[in-house]
Structure 1
Amino acid sequence: MRFFSKLTFFVMISLLLGACSQKVETGNDPARWVDPFIGTAGHGHTFPGATLPFGMVQVNPQTRLNGWDGCSGYHYSDSIIYGFAHTALNGTGALDYGDILLMPVVGEPVFINTEYSSPFSKTSEVAEPGYYSVKLDKPEVLAEVTATSRVGYHRYTFPKTENALLILDLQHRDRVLDSWIEFINDHEIRGMRRGSQWASDKVWYFHMEFSRPFTTKGIALNDTLRNELTKANGTNLKAYVGFDTRENDVVEVKVALSAVDAAGALKNLQEELPGWGFDETRKKARETWNKELSKIYVKGGTPRQLKVFYTALYHAMLQPNIFMDVDRRYRGMDRAIDTAVNFTNYTVFSLWDTYRAWHPLMTILDSARTVDYIRTMLNQYQKSGNLPVWELAGNETWCMIGNHAIPVIVDAWLKGIKGFDPQVALQAAINSVNADRVGYPVYRKYGYLPGDKEHESVSKTLEYAFDDWCIAQLAKNLNQEEVYKKYIQASQFYKNLFDPSTGFIRPRISGAWLEPFNPTTVDWNYTEANAWQYNFYVPHDVNTHIRLMGGDSAYAARLDELFSANTEVTGRDMKDISGLIGQYAHGNEPSHHVAYLYNFVGQPWKTQEKVRYIMDHFYTDQPDGIIGNEDCGQMSAWLIMSAMGFYPVNPASGQYIVGTPWFDEMDINLPNGKILRITASHPSEKNFYVQGMEINGQPWNYSYVFHKDLIAGGHIHFKLGKKPSLTWAFASDERPKAEVIDDQLVTSPYFNTTDTRVRKPISVSMATLTPGAEIFYTLDGSLPDNQSLHYKGPIEINQTTHLTAIAWHPSLGYSYPVDVEFVKIDTNRRIQVLSKVHPNYTAGGPEALIDGLRGPENWRLGGWQGYQGNDFEAVVDLGNIMPISYVGAGFIHDIGAWIWAPKKVEFEVSEDARNWKPVLSIDSPVSIDDYTARKLDLGGKINLKARYVKVKAMNLGKIPQWHLGAGGDAYIFIDEIIIK
């Protein structure tokens, strides 16, 4: 009997393991593989609610009112539901949407969300494409939702009660600018909500229709019930409708949205969902999803892989969202109402994320929508004067960096996806990258962004340079030779930030390399990253970057170092930096192409190792199965592209770099009616090394393919093995190439010191990266040429001096200038700082507080000292007893960045540093909840003599609960201590 038990156990284990590793295929219902809960835990920020592919409406349960992990309105760890809103964002790192909330209640009408909310059990939740349901415990109501493109459809199954209510909350989520509500009759409501959060002016009209007449109703104005009202407007509006229900009676509600007007919402309802039939609508939603998901058919993966893959494809199809009514009217970026002619208008363009892989993926799967996206972007340019950066609901949020509508447009055009005017696109791109904002004028003046003139200077320089390369490619295609020359040279501006002594692309301050430098430090010189994570962002000029690094072996070794480094990230707390392999951070976009770079130096097997590891470990079928923010489909697009076996390192080149496929077979139904079949010989966690490739039966020895090869259809086969092939795609002519050859840039000189305060003579040396270039300079701020002072060795600065330098090459011409102003300072004053300064915000040391150089309005540029969680205290020694007529200090107030003006500033004076006399105490004039960023001086006139001045500034302490950083430690930012 004991033997039988053991045998039975081993048989069961074998069957279980076999079930876990069995190979499956998509089938005719790919939606069955989708789990909308994936990404709703951890920091994925996805949502499980009901929506259609690219639909305008997302009917989503609201479980979290605020906080970074509440960006979508839902988090898997929560156990309370506040209601069901009709808009949601997929995986963003900023809060918005969650408009027009409905919530079933049993009992008396209540309008405070803590009173109408309900607990729920996770086991009662069901989420699938186009459908969500949950049992609400407090009212004992089964809530179900589905959707069409512009209409949310609710079904609530009530218990027996005379008080079955539905609460409508127009105050929910963000700040309300205006709203109104109107009861039309006993089964229809309409209204409008205008809100402001990430998008500053978000407008939604709605029209609601109920499946049965409501027997009671009321409007709550400022949370006071006014039963006599049938219409009201204000900034705190709520309403209820009531029904008398028997056990398991159903109340259905259809909610149509429009960003145009109430008539538009009604038209959307009448066109898309004129009748009733929840189950039929749910069925059609699933059919719609299956049609889209069937663009890719997979065979040979495990059930876990298919679940991960099709959920990724589902997430990739949640946005951009249709943003126009059925009659084609829409609200433009000029806030006016217009009609879309020959295109579908969309919203939600997370371009800093999606230009990398999501948009290239769509050029393979959906060229028709790609044309609509571009027409939308060009229309937004015509309405606003700029191509979109991060557009939301017809608003430009100016979130993130670069102007990455440009690579999207250029990539499509060069791939042969037409349907828009390329001359208009080129002009839009040129105008957008020459606008007077986010450092563009400085970038054009200096050939890079100095860190003391624009924050996030390294990341912006790198991404601006890539955008410039894209402009050059479009100009070349359109025979615009002068435009091509200008922007192909500008695409090399990144070279001005390459430090040959460290091999890092790093910030320059006052013309010199910023010190101290630690490549793991996250600071304001980079965008959501550090020097490691941006060091390989030269996708258009990889081969030049390889040479700058010292060649193939040195470049590969630096990549190895990136992936093997300690995972500790220093500096600013940045939750976006996640999914670390060494300092590679898959949870955020700047790293996404890096694993594929080994192909450029003939080591493709290392790419295959890294890519397979990332696919297997950073994408799972659990609620926390996305390693970072989903970011509107980009995280998923990385997986989808990588599972195909390649990835667009340069997302505007039409070239895809080979990795390793995830499935035995994949059929891609292309927009041109052809099928691309990708097969691989038994891929697994151990069998993933590429031994060889074939395209349509012919050997392919190159570690890249082109878009034209994919879109032509046919068959790509990967021969895989368990050991690396050290010969396949090893030769230099078998590797991908990305290199700028034309109009080579002469790099600007760099100096040896960032300290511009002259106490005693400073020795300044200069160098340039360009071989054969000479350096010329002036000392009066004028622009030098090759007839100016010729640099032959270190020069001495002993007074206030404006140094300007250029490099000149006899065949390549001049570099862009670099300049710095050295300032002679008063050496009689001394300062002793008694508080602990934050290591990221030292401004170069204590002397910065008394050097006479004021910190800039933009504190991110440096020049300010930061003190977190503690008060500031310092003593200034004037050198001698002298008359004092004024004492004060400069501070920053920017609570969005956790910086508060001090609660109080106190000044004391002394002649001997032992006996102190209070002379001035000033309370902060700024309210602690004032989000307006500003620089302010706190001080006042006095009339006495002293040698020493003590300054004390009281920190706010813990951040208040109403703030996004609740419970964290507030900062004081100070510069300068002013004593007259």
Structure 2
Amino acid sequence: MRMKTHAILGHIGTAFLLFIALNSFAQNPTDYVDPFIGTGGHGHTFPGATLPFGMVQLSPDTRLEGWDGCSGYHYSDSIIYGFSHTHLSGTGVSDYGDILLMPTQGEIQFDNGYKNGVEKGYGSTFQKSSEDAEPGYYAVHLDKHDIDVQLTAGRRVGIHNYTFNKPGMAQIVLDLEHRDELLADTIMIKSDRLVVGKRVSNAWATEQHVYFAMEFSTPIFRTAFNSNMRKAAFMFDLDEGDSIGIKVGISAVSIEGAQKNLASENTSIRFDDYRHAATETWEAALSKIQAHGNDDARLSIFYTALYHSMIAPNIFSDVDGKYRGMDGKVHSSDQPTYTVFSLWDTFRATHPLYTIIEQDRTDQFINTFLRQYQDGGALPIWELAGNYTGCMIGYHAVPVIADAYLKGIRAYDAELALEAMVYSANQDKLGLAAYKSQGFIGVGDEAESVSKTLEYAYDDWCIAQMARSLGEDSIHDAFVLRAQYFKNIFNPESGFMQPKMNGGWAPGFDPAEVNFNFTEANSWQY
């Protein structure tokens, strides 16, 4: 099903006209994207190279811990510890930062310098003025050894280009201990140009698998390892101005999968060819919405927000269709599988946007949900790298499915989808037992009781609409009734949704107060 072309004329501020046109192209929308927006403050975004919904997010790592290090980068930092291949954008919990590489010269250093000082590690200072970022591309100059770095990305491959402006022995450090707790690891030298391995780690995702295959443009002169063999330094004897290119394929399945992913995108020896392809991919993606106006700042905000909406979810299956399921096992599908479903954050606006500009991918997302249900026994709430994180509230895969189905986006098993939706709603965890038995969640039943009652009721209404469309009258009737439970926490005297305690209203209610009865909000917002 394809939606017809529409034109919507809006006015935002002074002389800012927004035209939305599906399947048509804007004038160089990538020119307006600023990947540094959101990298300061508490934005938790990263400036590095990725493709729309790509597996690789190749970006500098400047912050190794703390809440504002969730993406691995903060705009206020002045030290780069390396360039890793996976990053999260905009999350409130830290993870990823897998397969870190860092070019250096001089004495081999396996410590990153974070605790002992950058002069005693492989990290390097940098100047903000040397950074450059655009969709699919990042560049920076490393001060410590006068090295220029360029990064770009394919769908499952990260591409590095390091230019060494001083002659002599150079190293590229591979650090598998970077950031998360390491559960298992391997580094294998297959030839003087090919290195493969794996990294299994524990953080927000309690068992995250990343396998890699990296190909060097220049033969490795010698390799050194640290004492536990979790870090390697690949050495090269270089002349002034020599460059080394590296292509790194990754996989959540196996080393073989990483090699296949690398081979599928190993189409050129020129970095600029990959950079150009990345730009063209982003141009096509961002041109699905055309925005015109005479205020470049507003256009930059608009297109950067659109760009950020396309960084995740990420493709999780390999080029051969294999993927790691929610049961930890390897499965195969003829349809792509995705990961990073932050559904509490995205069900309200981002996924409805996808039903307009990413209809085929919306089908793929929903088919992913159904595989996650079949492989792991539940629809995702906040899924990460094939793990249930237990984060956030609701069962918001439900409205994503219902919204798509009612809009005619239906390339999936609708009966299986309804089964999964009903199953999710009939669990007893996260306050659902109280919700089902008494028609609301009380303060003593579960934290965030008001938010959970309201969002469960909305999700139940979505189940009812899906059931009615499928002719499942009994399911419709049951969930229409459950959808009314929001009324049980509405206080007509105050006009607000309020927490309940011991059969009445909880004392000391202030609609402006953010507390544990609400999820990142207060009663005014709900």
Given the two structures, how large is their TM-score scaled by the length of structure 1?
A: 0.50
In the TM superposition, 1:15-164 aligns within 5 A as 28-114=27-113, 115-164=121-170
Instruction: State whether residues 124 and 143 of structure 2, in contact with CA within 8 Å, keep that contact through their aligned partners in structure 1.
Output: yes
Residue 323 (structure 2) pairs with residue 298 (structure 1): no
Partner of 2:264: 271
Partner of 2:476: 484
Partner of 1:204: 210
Q: Deviations over 1:111-158 (max 9, x none)?
A: 111111111000000000110000000011001100100110000000
Displacement of 1:420: 1.1
**C-alpha separation between the residues in 2 aligned to 1:268 and 1:475?**
40
Displacement of 1:49: 0.3
**C-alpha separation between the residues in 2 aligned to 1:23 and 1:390?**
36
AA aligned opposite 1:290: E
Partner of 2:184: 178
Any idea what SS the aligned residue of 1:521 has? coil
**C-alpha separation between the residues in 1 aligned to 2:496 and 2:15?**
43
Instruction: State whether residues 61 and 73 of structure 2, in contact with CA within 8 Å, keep that contact through their aligned partners in structure 1.
Output: yes
**C-alpha separation between the residues in 1 aligned to 2:494 and 2:434?**
25
Displacement of 1:180: 1.1
Displacement of 1:278: 0.2
Instruction: State whether residues 23 and 302 of structure 1, in contact with CA within 8 Å, keep that contact through their aligned partners in structure 2.
Output: no
**C-alpha separation between the residues in 2 aligned to 1:24 and 1:529?**
31
User: Please, which runs of 5 or more residues in structure 1 have no aligned partner?
Assistant: 1-19, 223-231, 535-980
Q: Deviations over 1:320-361 (max 9, x none)?
A: 1101111111111111111112x2111111100111010111
Instruction: State whether residues 17 and 291 of structure 2, in contact with CA within 8 Å, keep that contact through their aligned partners in structure 1.
Output: no
Displacement of 1:33: 1.1
Most deviating of 397-406 and 152-161? 152-161
Displacement of 1:27: 5.2
Displacement of 1:500: 2.0
Instruction: State whether residues 110 and 122 of structure 2, in contact with CA within 8 Å, keep that contact through their aligned partners in structure 1.
Output: yes
Residue 316 (structure 2) pairs with residue 323 (structure 1): yes
Partner of 2:237: 244
Displacement of 1:24: 11
Any idea what SS the aligned residue of 1:194 has? strand
Displacement of 1:65: 0.3
**C-alpha separation between the residues in 1 aligned to 2:329 and 2:435?**
33
Distance 1:23 1:404, change over 3 A: closer
Instruction: State whether residues 106 and 161 of structure 1, in contact with CA within 8 Å, keep that contact through their aligned partners in structure 2.
Output: no
Residue 402 (structure 2) pairs with residue 419 (structure 1): no
Instruction: State whether residues 24 and 303 of structure 1, in contact with CA within 8 Å, keep that contact through their aligned partners in structure 2.
Output: no
Partner of 2:250: 257
**C-alpha separation between the residues in 2 aligned to 1:420 and 1:187?**
43
AA aligned opposite 1:450: G
**C-alpha separation between the residues in 2 aligned to 1:219 and 1:274?**
31
Residue 345 (structure 2) pairs with residue 339 (structure 1): no
AA aligned opposite 1:262: I
Between the aligned residues of both structures, percent identity stands at 53
Any idea what SS the aligned residue of 1:532 has? coil
Distance 1:467 1:78, change over 3 A: same
Residue 305 (structure 2) pairs with residue 312 (structure 1): yes
Instruction: State whether residues 459 and 527 of structure 1, in contact with CA within 8 Å, keep that contact through their aligned partners in structure 2.
Output: yes
Any idea what SS the aligned residue of 1:116 has? coil
**C-alpha separation between the residues in 2 aligned to 1:382 and 1:507?**
36
Q: Deviations over 1:455-497 (max 9, x none)?
A: 1110000000000000111111111111111110110111111
AA aligned opposite 1:308: I
Instruction: State whether residues 24 and 302 of structure 1, in contact with CA within 8 Å, keep that contact through their aligned partners in structure 2.
Output: no
| Bigger relative CO (Cα 8 Å, ≥ 6 apart) | 2
Q: Which has the higher strand share?
A: 1
Any idea what SS the aligned residue of 2:467 has? helix
Any idea what SS the aligned residue of 1:193 has? strand
AA aligned opposite 1:134: V
Q: Deviations over 1:877-910 (max 9, x none)?
A: xxxxxxxxxxxxxxxxxxxxxxxxxxxxxxxxxx
Distance 1:82 1:21, change over 3 A: farther
Partner of 1:575: none
Structure whose alpha-carbon radius of gyration is higher: 1
Partner of 1:362: 354
In the TM superposition, 1:178-577 aligns within 5 A as 178-222=184-228, 232=229, 237-341=230-334, 343-534=335-526
Instruction: State whether residues 167 and 241 of structure 2, in contact with CA within 8 Å, keep that contact through their aligned partners in structure 1.
Output: no
Instruction: State whether residues 15 and 293 of structure 2, in contact with CA within 8 Å, keep that contact through their aligned partners in structure 1.
Output: no
**C-alpha separation between the residues in 2 aligned to 1:525 and 1:408?**
25
Given the two structures, how large is their TM-score scaled by the length of structure 2?
A: 0.93
In the TM superposition, 1:598-613 aligns within 5 A as none
Structure 1 outlier segments of 4+, above 4 Å:
20-27
Instruction: State whether residues 154 and 252 of structure 1, in contact with CA within 8 Å, keep that contact through their aligned partners in structure 2.
Output: yes
Distance 1:22 1:351, change over 3 A: closer
Aligned CA-pair RMSD: 1.5
**C-alpha separation between the residues in 2 aligned to 1:21 and 1:376?**
42
Any idea what SS the aligned residue of 2:524 has? helix
Distance 1:24 1:516, change over 3 A: closer
Instruction: State whether residues 22 and 303 of structure 1, in contact with CA within 8 Å, keep that contact through their aligned partners in structure 2.
Output: no
Any idea what SS the aligned residue of 1:398 has? coil
Number of residues paired by the alignment?
A: 501
Q: Deviations over 1:903-952 (max 9, x none)?
A: xxxxxxxxxxxxxxxxxxxxxxxxxxxxxxxxxxxxxxxxxxxxxxxxxx
Any idea what SS the aligned residue of 1:132 has? strand
AA aligned opposite 2:203: Q
Partner of 2:175: 169
Displacement of 1:249: 0.6
Instruction: State whether residues 16 and 292 of structure 2, in contact with CA within 8 Å, keep that contact through their aligned partners in structure 1.
Output: no
**C-alpha separation between the residues in 2 aligned to 1:464 and 1:416?**
24
AA aligned opposite 1:175: E
Displacement of 1:454: 1.0
Instruction: State whether residues 346 and 376 of structure 1, in contact with CA within 8 Å, keep that contact through their aligned partners in structure 2.
Output: yes
AA aligned opposite 2:88: L
Instruction: State whether residues 146 and 166 of structure 2, in contact with CA within 8 Å, keep that contact through their aligned partners in structure 1.
Output: no
AA aligned opposite 1:333: M
Distance 1:121 1:361, change over 3 A: same
**C-alpha separation between the residues in 2 aligned to 1:479 and 1:325?**
37
Displacement of 1:308: 1.2
Partner of 1:711: none
**C-alpha separation between the residues in 2 aligned to 1:467 and 1:221?**
53
Instruction: State whether residues 317 and 324 of structure 2, in contact with CA within 8 Å, keep that contact through their aligned partners in structure 1.
Output: yes
Instruction: State whether residues 24 and 301 of structure 1, in contact with CA within 8 Å, keep that contact through their aligned partners in structure 2.
Output: no
**C-alpha separation between the residues in 2 aligned to 1:507 and 1:23?**
43
In the TM superposition, 1:653-802 aligns within 5 A as none
Partner of 1:625: none
Any idea what SS the aligned residue of 1:127 has? strand
Instruction: State whether residues 65 and 173 of structure 1, in contact with CA within 8 Å, keep that contact through their aligned partners in structure 2.
Output: yes
**C-alpha separation between the residues in 2 aligned to 1:314 and 1:80?**
26
In the TM superposition, 1:817-856 aligns within 5 A as none
